[in-house]
Structure formats: C-alpha cells, structure tokens
Structure 1
Amino acid sequence: MHGENLQEWIKHIGYLGIWAIIFAESGLMIGFFLPGDSLLFTAGFLASQNFLNIFVLIFGAFACAVFGDNVGYATGHRFGRRLFQKEDSRIFKRKYLIQTQNFYAKHGQKTIVLARFMPIVRTFAPIVAGTAAMRYKTFMTYNLIGGAVWTVGVTLLGFFLGKVIPDVDKYLLPIIAVIILVSIAPSIWHVVAEHRSAKNSPPDEPQETYEPQEK
C-alpha cells in the first residue's frame, strides 16, 4: 500500500479502525498480516497535520495493543496444545506458532517486548506465552512495557518527523519501507541463524519438540 493510499485509508477508518487493527494484530491469529508498524507511523504523521489527536491516538493504540495481547495469552492458555496440533488452513499456519515458540525459548520473557517490533511474531508471542503457562503477572509486566514502547515510540516518530521535516509526506513511502525492513530484520536474522545451526548440527541429533513449561 502506497504512502498516500495508506493516509487516505487511515482518514477513512479513523480512530476505531486504527485501534481495531492494532488489537487484531496483537492477539488474534488472523491479524498477523496487518500493517501495524506502518499504520502507527502514518497515523502519527497525520496527527502532526492535525487530522488526528496524538494523545487520543496513542492512548487508544496502547490500550488495544495491551488488550489484544491479553486475548492472545488467554487463547494460548486455554487452547494452546490444540493449536499446536491443528492442521494448516488458509488463515492459520502452524509454522508461525512453532517459529514464535522457538524464538520464545531462546529469548525468554523479553520476547513479549521484542515481538512488538516483529511482524507475525508479535501476533503469536502472547499465544505461546499463554500456552507455556507463563505467569500472568510477569506476562502483563512485559506486555505493558512492550505495548508502550511500540505504540508510543512508532507513533511519536511519525508525529515528530511530520513536525520537523517540511513536506515529509513526500518521503512517507521510503520511510515506511525502512520501518518495515527494520521490523522484519530480526525475523530474517533468526531464520538464518536457525538454518545455520541446523546445518551444522549432527545428523543424528534429535529434533526439539514443544513442551509447555511453567514460567
């Protein structure tokens, strides 16, 4: 979606549309494909042009991001084992859960914060946390931190660039492209690292399987 098209789209859907997308991408499995980073950045830019109120925008985005993660956690806590056994469909891909679980196993609790900046992973991280029986108090702490850093940071970046750079809207497309690239870079690095590790592992080494553990 081009920068100008994204701006018009955001103007059309308004606050409720923005918040609904942030909620869906944070905790609903069908939301993994949604453009959270570019959406927040562009919405922040539009706030700098007085199309939106920055405080209302950030508060709603933060609340929906935190609430969305809570829904994902509850889903994983209640249906986690079934999800890992579920067959692939057009919407649900079990590999996304497995990839997120491997990332979670490597990076632990801070995954809840790191995942906010990683498309796909941010959708499934709270589900994996719930499946792994991560203590809710611990999860909520990281959820609040990650939700604040992501929604406030990315939105304010768009807001302040819109204020200090003349005609920044002309550069929205490359800026959004950079944001997307930075967002997916950790995922690419993780996949490459896993591939190298698997390639260098002994052929008879057993594959690790998912086992939920108390956190």
Structure 2
Amino acid sequence: MDLHDVIDFIEHYGYFALFFSLWLGIVGMPIPDEMIVMSGGFLSSLEKMGIIPAFILTYLGVVSGLSLGYVLGKVFGLKVLDKLVKKNKAKYLIKSKDMISKYGQFALVISYFIPVVRHIIPYLVGMNNMSFKIYALYSYTAGFIWTMIYFVLGFFFGKHIEHIGKLATQYGLYFGVIVMIVWIIYYCFKRKLAERLKIKRSNG
C-alpha cells in the first residue's frame, strides 16, 4: 500500500478509515503514521473532510493505538518482547529501553518523534507497571502536539507529504523539534503583528 492508496482509502471510507489506519499502526502498517496523519490534514484542506472531526479522529486513532500497546505490555509482558525480537525489531527494543532508563516518563514524549520506538515504549512502560494515569498524562499530551504538527503540515503542504514523511522518518526527533520551533516563532510573530495592528487602529 502506497501513499495514494492510503489517501484513496481514507477518502472513500471517511473518518473511521483515518482512525483505523492509525490504530492499526500497532501491528506495523506499511506506511509511516506521519504520512497517514498528514493525509488527514491534506484531505481537510481539499474540503473532502471536515477539519475538526478529521483532527479528532486522527488524534484518537494515534493515542488509542499506542494505548493498546500499553495494555498489551501490562497484560502479556515478556511475551510481547519475544514477538518484537522475532520481528527483527531488537535494535529498536534496545533503543527504547535506553530511552526509558535515561529519560524516564519523558521517554513517552520523545518517542513520538521516533518511528517504531513510539510503538515499543508503551509496551515497555505497561510491562513495568507504570500507572495508566501517568501514562495518559504524558502520552496523550505529547500525542496531541505530535498529531497537531503533522496534521497542520498536511493541511498546508499536502502535495509534499512523501518528502516530508521521508524527512520525518529519517531524522525523527530533530525534524519534530525544528518544526515546533518554527511554529512557535510563527505564532509569536503573528500574535505580535496582530497586537500592533490593534494598537494602530485604536490610535488612529
């Protein structure tokens, strides 16, 4: 399944296709989550989907898919790890363990920007009996920001989804941080400009 197939699938089956494409990321979809989220933003920009329901279903697909990983880790523990090793994901497993050792709960935030690792870390924290309350606090908050970033990128730069997806997959965390910084600068600049225009109008 390539990007065009995913876009056609989402366009044909609507919001729930968007949700399930991300929810099934837990079993390893053949296309990166970033590209699926951007597809939702792109279709919203073409007015083929409503922007608010598309974003909500996208966000719910992301967090519910990762929450399923948390539950599986909590229930099945080591059996899940054996399956990951058999799927040739041992290097990602090692990286995920190192991140949890180094960053603790914040690994849930950082991992969103690292493909494959973002699906493994919920398994590990579930297996290590992290409370769901703590898991949800970090994972759902980071998930909202992550989903917003890629949804907005898809909305404004939908024709370049494949290129952006490759950058996101290759550079992961660095790409996410750069996009966040650019977005914050843009937001602050826009806000200051609006304030200046408001002052100008009131003085005029």
Residue 157 and residue 79 in structure 1: after superposition, are their counterparts in 2 closer, same or farther (change >3 A)?
same
Listed one character per residue, the Cα deviations across residues 67-89 of structure 1 (whole Å, up to 9, x for unaligned) are 22221111111222233355843
Equivalent-residue separation in structure 2 for 1:68 and 1:3 (angstroms): 20
TM-score, with structure 1 as normaliser: 0.69
Equivalent-residue separation in structure 2 for 1:87 and 1:111 (angstroms): 19
**Letter matched to residue 24 of structure 1:** L
Equivalent-residue separation in structure 2 for 1:177 and 1:154 (angstroms): 13
Q: Secondary structure at the match of 1:52?
A: coil
The aligned residue for residue 52 of structure 2 is: 55
The aligned residue for residue 155 of structure 1 is: 151
Equivalent-residue separation in structure 2 for 1:88 and 1:101 (angstroms): 13
Equivalent-residue separation in structure 2 for 1:52 and 1:65 (angstroms): 18
The aligned residue for residue 45 of structure 1 is: 42
Q: What does 1:128-147 correspond to in 2, within 5 Å? A: 128-147=124-143
**Letter matched to residue 58 of structure 2:** A
Residue 85 and residue 46 in structure 1: after superposition, are their counterparts in 2 closer, same or farther (change >3 A)?
closer
- Aligned with 1:108 (options 92, 104, 118): 104
Kept in 1: contact 2:62–2:143 (CA 8 A): yes
TM-score, with structure 2 as normaliser: 0.72
Are 2:78 and 1:81 aligned? yes
Equivalent-residue separation in structure 2 for 1:42 and 1:123 (angstroms): 20
**Letter matched to residue 39 of structure 1:** I
The aligned residue for residue 123 of structure 2 is: 127
Are 2:34 and 1:14 aligned? no
Deviation at 1:33, TM superposition (A): 4.9
Residue 121 and residue 54 in structure 1: after superposition, are their counterparts in 2 closer, same or farther (change >3 A)?
same
Kept in 2: contact 1:118–1:184 (CA 8 A): yes
Deviation at 1:58, TM superposition (A): 1.0
Are 2:67 and 1:70 aligned? yes
Q: Secondary structure at the match of 2:74?
A: helix
Kept in 1: contact 2:114–2:173 (CA 8 A): yes
Deviation at 1:185, TM superposition (A): 5.7
Deviation at 1:158, TM superposition (A): 1.7
Q: Secondary structure at the match of 2:130?
A: coil
Equivalent-residue separation in structure 1 for 2:6 and 2:30 (angstroms): 15
Q: Secondary structure at the match of 2:47?
A: coil
Equivalent-residue separation in structure 1 for 2:164 and 2:37 (angstroms): 13
Kept in 1: contact 2:3–2:35 (CA 8 A): no
Question: Between the two proteins, what is the percent identity of the paired residues?
Answer: 26
Deviates further, 110-119 or 121-130: 110-119
Kept in 2: contact 1:33–1:120 (CA 8 A): no
Deviation at 1:137, TM superposition (A): 1.4
